[in-house]
């Protein structure tokens, strides 16, 4: 969904294609150069390269999770992995299970467990160790909230237009609702 990509892009770079993070991530989607190369892309500050690399990497992360997970939770796990690494998400899911939380649900479950990985008593027992757990929690929540706002705008546009065909015409012309 283009609105999810836009929400993530804003979270990563505030739509600045020249953005570079303190760890070296580059471009609109803040892709690490090695990750971009692994995905088949270079010159990540070029918007088309950075976006394609980021979307391909996000899809790769999503596909690492079980296909029978709820679609939304699979995406939340992929986004959290994009931010914190899939190893930390695996640790958080195991910790969630051990704390009688649902390891297959992000909100209210795994997000609670990953926050604990910032504490030594939990990080020292985790395979991938310490994680600044509040970062992926905030990252996923802010993307979800922004995505929901983008969806509401598209629905509002549909309601105001009075028909789905009017929204589709707008989308084809590059307006709201474009896929």
Q: What is the pLDDT of residue 163?
A: 54
Q: Are 119 and 96 in contact (CB under 8 A)?
A: no
Can you read off the two tokens belonging to residue 165?
């065909």
Can you read off the two tokens belonging to residue 52?
């394609």
How far is it, in rounded angstroms, from Cα 175 to Cα 140?
26
Q: What is the pLDDT of residue 155?
A: 73
Of the listed 12, 43, 121, 142, which one is catalytic?
12
- The residue to which tokens 């195991």 are assigned: 94
How far is it, in rounded angstroms, from Cα 44 to Cα 22?
16
- Residue 12: active-site member: yes
Count CB neighbours of 2 within 10 A.
13
Q: What is the pLDDT of residue 35?
A: 97
Question: Pick from 17, 9, 106: which is nearest to 58 by CA?
Answer: 9
Q: What is the pLDDT of residue 178?
A: 35
Query: CA-based diameter of the chain, in Å?
Result: 57
pLDDT tens, residue order, the chain (179 aa): 899 999 999 999 999 999 999 999 999 999 999 999 999 999 999 999 999 999 999 999 999 999 999 999 999 999 999 999 999 999 999 999 999 999 999 999 999 999 999 999 999 999 999 999 999 999 999 999 999 999 988 777 666 665 555 545 554 554 443 33
Residues 6+ apart with CB under 8 A from 74: 62, 65, 66
How far is it, in rounded angstroms, from Cα 127 to Cα 84?
14
Count CB neighbours of 100 within 10 A.
7
Q: Which pTM was predicted?
A: 0.87
How far is it, in rounded angstroms, from Cα 87 to Cα 127?
8
């Amino acid at each position: 969904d283009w609105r999810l990509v836009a929400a993530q892009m804003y979270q990563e770079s505030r739509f600045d294609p020249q953005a570079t993070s303190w760890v070296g991530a580059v471009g609109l989607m803040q892709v690490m150069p090695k990750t971009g190369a692994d995905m088949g892309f270079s010159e990540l500050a070029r918007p088309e390269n950075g976006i394609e690399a980021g979307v391909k990497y996000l899809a790769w992360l999503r596909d690492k999770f079980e296909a029978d997970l709820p679609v939304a939770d699979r995406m939340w796990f992929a986004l959290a992995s994009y931010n914190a690494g899939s190893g930390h998400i695996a640790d958080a899911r195991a910790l969630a299970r051990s704390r009688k939380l649902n390891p297959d649900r992000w909100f209210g479950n795994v997000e609670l467990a990953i926050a604990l990985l910032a504490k030594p008593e939990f990080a020292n027992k985790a395979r991938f160790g310490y994680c600044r757990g509040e970062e992926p929690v905030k990252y996923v929540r802010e993307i979800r909230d922004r995505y929901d706002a983008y969806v509401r705008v598209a629905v509002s546009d549909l309601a105001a237009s009075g028909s789905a065909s009017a929204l589709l015409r707008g989308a084809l012309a590059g307006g709201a609702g474009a896929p």
